[in-house]
C-alpha cells in the first residue's frame, strides 16, 4: 500500500527517536502510543475533510503520538517528545499528539482562525503548558508550520522546513517523498543523537532542552578553568514578523561551569570561584544590538556552578 523505501525511512526515523528515549528518557518513551490503524487515519480524514500526506500517514502508522490525559504539568508537562524551553515564566514543552487529539484540537482552533484555506491545516503538536505553541501540517502542500504571536488574530504562521526540501506526489521517486513532518522529526532525532540538544534534569524535572549544547549552534569558551557556553533559540510563538521591533524573538542561555581541574590563575589552582560581574556584548548579523553590564547576575553572586537562562533578545 505504501512505498517500501519510504516505510523503511520512516521506521529508521522512529527507531532513532525511540532508541534515544529508551537510553536517556524512558519516562517519555512510555508515553508513546502504538501505531494507528488505517481505519483511525481514515476517520481523521473524514472528520476533518483532509487527506494526510503519505509520509505523515506512515509516521502515524508506526506511532500514534503521545499519551496526554491530564492537564497537570508536574506529571506530563516535561515529557514532550519535541521538548522546549523556559525563561521568565514563559514555559514551553511540545508534545506530538495522537490522531484523536488532532481531530479535537483542529476543530477547536479552526473556530478561532479566520483566513482562506484554514481547512487544509491540522494541529499535529502543541505545548502542554500555559504558554501556547501550536504546530500545523498543511495537508495540501505537506509543509509544517508553527504559529506566531499573531496566530489567533490573523492566522499567521512560519514554515518549519525549507519549501524546496518538500517532495510529494507523482513527480518524485517513492523513496524521495518527504513532507515537513518527516523532515522535522528526522532533524529532531539527529540533534538528539548527536548531543546538540539534550535532556536536562533541573529541580527534579526532566525535559528535552532545545537550547543547543554543541558547536556550531552554540559558542563555548574556557578561561582559567571556567567553561562558558552561550546559545540561543528562536521563539516563534512570541514573534511578530510584521513588527519593526519584535519581528524575530530569541531567548538566550548562558551556562557556566567549573572544570574538574578547578580554576587556574597565575599558576595557582582554586577549587571554587565566584561570579562578581557580567558583561555581555550581543551581536546579530555582525552588528552589536545590546550590551549587558552589571554586578553578578540579576543581583545575585553565584558560587562554583552557575546555571541560568536569560530573558529573550529581540
Sequence spans of domains, the chain:
4-198, 211-313
Contacts of 150 (CB under 8 A, 6+ apart): 156, 240, 242
Could you count the other beta carbons within 10 Å of the beta carbon of residue 177? 24
pLDDT band at 41 (very low <50, low <70, confident <90, very high): very high
pLDDT band at 294 (very low <50, low <70, confident <90, very high): confident
Q: Which pLDDT does position 297 carry in this prediction?
A: 66
Q: Which pLDDT does position 14 carry in this prediction?
A: 98
Beta bridge partners of residue 283, listed in sequence order: 288
Q: Mind giving me the DSSP string for 127-171?
A: ESSSS--EEEEETTT--EEEE-TTHHHH--EEESS-GGG-B-GGG
pLDDT at position 98 over 70: yes
Nine-digit cell at 89? Answer: 515564566
pLDDT at position 311 over 80: no
pLDDT at position 67 over 70: yes
Task: For domain 4-198, give its CATH number from 3.40.50.2000, 3.40.1580.10, 3.30.365.10, 3.30.390.10.
Answer: 3.40.1580.10
pLDDT at position 6 over 80: yes
pTM score, two decimals? 0.89
- Inter-residue contact 73 to 129 (CB < 8 Å): yes
Among 72-86, 92-106, 186-200, 204-218, the least confident range: 72-86
pLDDT at position 95 over 50: yes
Edge-first strand listing for the sheet containing 121-127:
157-159, 144-147, 134-138, 121-127, 90-96, 83-87, 205-209, 198-202
Using CA atoms of 126, 211, 161, 114 in order, give the dihedral in degrees to the nearest 10: 40
228-256 average pLDDT score: 90
- Inter-residue contact 175 to 3 (CB < 8 Å): yes
What integer best gives the mean pLDDT of the chain? Answer: 88
How is residue 238 annotated by DSSP? G
Task: For domain 211-313, give its CATH number from 2.60.40.420, 2.60.40.1470, 3.20.20.70, 3.40.1030.10.
Answer: 2.60.40.1470
Question: Tens digit of pLDDT for each residue in 245-291?
Answer: 778 889 989 888 899 988 888 889 988 888 888 888 888 778 898 89
**Are domains 4-198 and 211-313 of this chain identical in fold?**
no
Give the separation between CA 186 and CA 191, rounded to whole angstroms: 9
Measured N-to-C along each axis, helices 4-24 and 180-193 cross at an angle, to the nearest 10 degrees, of 40
Choice between 43 and 301, residue whose per-residue pLDDT is larger: 43
pLDDT at position 75 over 60: no
Beta bridge partners of residue 277, listed in sequence order: 295
237-241 average pLDDT score: 94
Amino acid at each position: 500500500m505504501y512505498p517500501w523505501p519510504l516505510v523503511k525511512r520512516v521506521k529508521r526515523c522512529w527507531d532513532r527517536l525511540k532508541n534515544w528515549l529508551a537510553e536517556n528518557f524512558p519516562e517519555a518513551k512510555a508515553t508513546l502510543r502504538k501505531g494507528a490503524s488505517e481505519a483511525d487515519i481514515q476517520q481523521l480524514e473524514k472528520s476533518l475533510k483532509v487527506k494526510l500526506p503519505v509520509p505523515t500517514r506512515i509516521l502515524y502508522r508506526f506511532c500514534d503520538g503521545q499519551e496526554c490525559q491530564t492537564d497537570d504539568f508536574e506529571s506530563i508537562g516535561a515529557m514532550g517528545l519535541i521538548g522546549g524551553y523556559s525563561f521568565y515564566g514563559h514555559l514551553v514543552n511540545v508534545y506530538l499528539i495522537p490522531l484523536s487529539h488532532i481531530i479535537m484540537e483542529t476543530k477547536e482552533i479552526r473556530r478561532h482562525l479566520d483566513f482562506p484555506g484554514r481547512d487544509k491545516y491540522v494541529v499535529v503538536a502543541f505545548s502542554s503548558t500555559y504558554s501556547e505553541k501550536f504546530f500545523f501540517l498543511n495537508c495540501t502542500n505537506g509543509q509544517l508550520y508553527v504559529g506566531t504571536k499573531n496566530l489567533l488574530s490573523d492566522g499567521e504562521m512560519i514554515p518549519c522546513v525549507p519549501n524546496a526540501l518538500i517532495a510529494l506526489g507523482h513527480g518524485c521517486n517513492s523513496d524521495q517523498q518527504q513532507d515537513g513532518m518527516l523532515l522535522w522529526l528526522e532533524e529532531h532525532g539527529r540533534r538528539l543523537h548527536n548531543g546538540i540538544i539534550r535532556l536536562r534534569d533541573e529541580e527534579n524535572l526532566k525535559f528535552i532542552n532545545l537550547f543547543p549544547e554543541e558547536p556550531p549552534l552554540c559558542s563555548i569558551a574556557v578561561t582559567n578553568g571556567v567553561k562558558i557556553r552561550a546559545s540561543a533559540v528562536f521563539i516563534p510563538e512570541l514573534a511578530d514578523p510584521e513588527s519593526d521591533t519584535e519581528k524575530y524573538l530569541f531567548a538566550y542561555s548562558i551556562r557556566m561551569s567549573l572544570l574538574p581541574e578547578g580554576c587556574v590563575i597565575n599558576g595557582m589552582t582554586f577549587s571554587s570561584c565566584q561570579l562578581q560581574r557580567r558583561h555581555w556584548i550581543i551581536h546579530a548579523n555582525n552588528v552589536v544590538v545590546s550590551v549587558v553590564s552589571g554586578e553578578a547576575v540579576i543581583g545575585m553572586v553565584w558560587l562554583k556552578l552557575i546555571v541560568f537562562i536569560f530573558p529573550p533578545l529581540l
